[in-house]
Structure 1
Amino acid sequence: MTRPALQFSQALGHDAADKRLDILRRIGQVGSISEAARGAGVSYKAAWQAIETLSNLAGQALVEKAVGGSGGGGARLTPAGQRLLQAAELFAQARASVLSRLDHDSPGGIRPADLLGLGLRTSMRNQLPCRVSALESDAARVRVTLDLADGRRLHSRITSESAELLGLVPGLPVIALCKATAVTVADVLAPRPGVNLLHGTVGRISAAQHGSEVSLQFLPGLHLVGFTPAGVALQPGQPAMAAVDESAVVIAVGQ
């Protein structure tokens, strides 16, 4: 059976400084997943999650068992894993060169955070730039508080392993994503535990099979797309509310 080609564009799709790549790099250095996890400051479970995700994206196994290794539980990189790290280094060098050129040519400079969402390709309609404000652990999950550009707050619930691998800390610029179908828009919505409620003004409205598709505007250039329940009629310019479950809010990062 022919081995599938190594998918560099998938595994390196967002950023060459990904913590998952840091874990992979450390495995190559110390020959142990547990030691690599400790060095990267994440749990053993999170390290395995990183390996599995990268392997899925790359389309090939990146780590294999090995005899020995510091701290027991020997592991080593496959040739595909080694090639992926080489590609990551080349990506990092090219990226640094481009940013340096932009900074030199642009009077105000362009920060990496300004380019955060440009590499994302996703079916999720809602992509909101924001910053991490706080993190609150709750058993195996973390509730992340996100500050939008206009001061509004959005919350996301993710696993502790995901928070570790993303390297979430207060002040970190991120992108909050959610499907339009996960957002309910109406003139009045009752607050519920674990659900974000955001107030805005109705902008664009498009008829849909069940309810209407509504673009709720917060500020010029900042809006959220969702759907009204059946029987709810809204008009452009009127105040309205949007509700989205905290667990439906996905967080994307880049550096």
Structure 2
Amino acid sequence: MNGGDHPLLQGELRLAGRLDGRFFDLLAALALTGSLHKAARAAGYSYKGAWLVLDAAQALTRTPLADKAAGGTGGGGTRLTAEGQALLAAWRALQARHTAFLHEQAAWLATQPALDALLKRMSMKTTARNQFLGRIADVTPGPTTTTVRVALDGGQAVTAAMTTEAAAELDVQPGQQALALVKSSEVVLVTDFGGYRLSARNQLAGTVSRVERGAVSSLIGLTLPGGTVVTASVTNDAVDGLALAAGQPATAVFKAYAVMLAVRT
């Protein structure tokens, strides 16, 4: 990531599709030290690797970018040619323009709240397959446990239970945008309650929209009214036993303690 990158916008500058920041770090170090050994170490190349990348670059530019200086009282070394210096100067100018471009796009992104929120959600890396975006509808604190209800865009709600200490650290407040994270292995699918009621706080009714069968288990996608999809990891035996198939109504059930809440700082 270049130094001018926005947290949500990243761009890598390359010349001719091959010459990247690491290569120009080599040129800059070579201009500074006059030693290919030192420049290679600074840019993370072996000595042989540095010569190979220079040779490849010179094949593109069709002109020498560095040459070996003759030995003498000051000793030998390797220096940039005039063409190498010009290429390095051009890179630095383009890099400054590239950084300015990213700042310009970041300023535009700030005027697009929906897109900005989408990119922020995408930037979070987690193994939890289920990431429900919504806003905190209410917070119910207790001596040791606090429950937080997140209203989803589709009209459903997901309830998370956490320690009161964790809720205080997150400073959860009604109206905050939040992500409710649930592992697919924590989701139980129910196709028939048989007259029973379950204690699990979260029970989301929808329609099976996807069955991806694996060697041992399957991933089941359950689409809720409004389009939100809940993914459950179910053993193949359970898939066969329930005869799960696309178009079948089912309810995704998971405990409030299985929900991890994420809010932006």
TM-score in same-fold range (> 0.5): yes
Higher RCO (Cα < 8 Å, 6 or more apart)? 1
Mark the structure with the bigger radius of gyration. 2
| Percentage of matched positions with identical amino acids | 27
2:148 to 130, 133, 144: 144
Map of 2:247 onto structure 1: 237
Q: Is the 8 Å Cα contact of residues 177 and 250 (structure 1) preserved in structure 2?
A: yes
CA distance in 2, matches of 1:97, 1:110: 18
User: Mind listing any 5+ residue stretches in structure 2 that lack a counterpart?
Assistant: 1-6, 9-101
Tell me the distance in 2 between the aligned counterparts of 1:96 and 1:146: 33
SS at match of 2:123: coil
Structure 1 residue identity aligned to 2:151: D
* SS of corresponding position for 1:116: helix
Q: Which amino acid aligns with 2:211?
A: I
Question: Offset at 1:191?
Answer: 3.3
Q: Does residue 165 of structure 2 align to residue 161 of structure 1?
A: yes
Write out per-residue CA displacement over residues 132-155 of structure 1, whole angstroms, 9 at most, x where no aligned residue: 111112321101111111111111
Give the whole-Å Cα distance in 1 for the aligned partners of 2:113 and 2:159.
31
SS in structure 1 opposite 2:127? coil
Report the secondary structure of 2:165's partner residue. helix
SS at 2:138 equivalent? strand
Per mean C-alpha deviation after superposition, the further-off stretch among 229-238 and 151-160 is 229-238
Aligned residue in 2 for 1:250: 260
Paired position in structure 1 for 2:77: none
Unmatched runs of 5 consecutive residues or more in structure 1: 1-12, 15-94
Distance (whole Å) between structure 1 residues aligned to residue 177 and residue 131 of structure 2 = 13
Give the CA RMSD over aligned residues.
2.7
Q: Is the 8 A contact 2:182 2:259 kept in 1?
A: yes
Q: Does 1:193 align with 2:203?
A: no
For the residues of structure 2 that align with 1:186 and 1:113, how far apart are their CA atoms? 33
TM-score (normalizing by structure 2): 0.53
Counterpart Cα distance in 2 of 1:254 and 1:98: 21
**Number of aligned pairs?**
160
User: TM (normalized to structure 1)?
Assistant: 0.55
Distance in 2 separating the partners of 1:221 and 1:203: 11
Q: CA deviation at 1:238?
A: 1.7
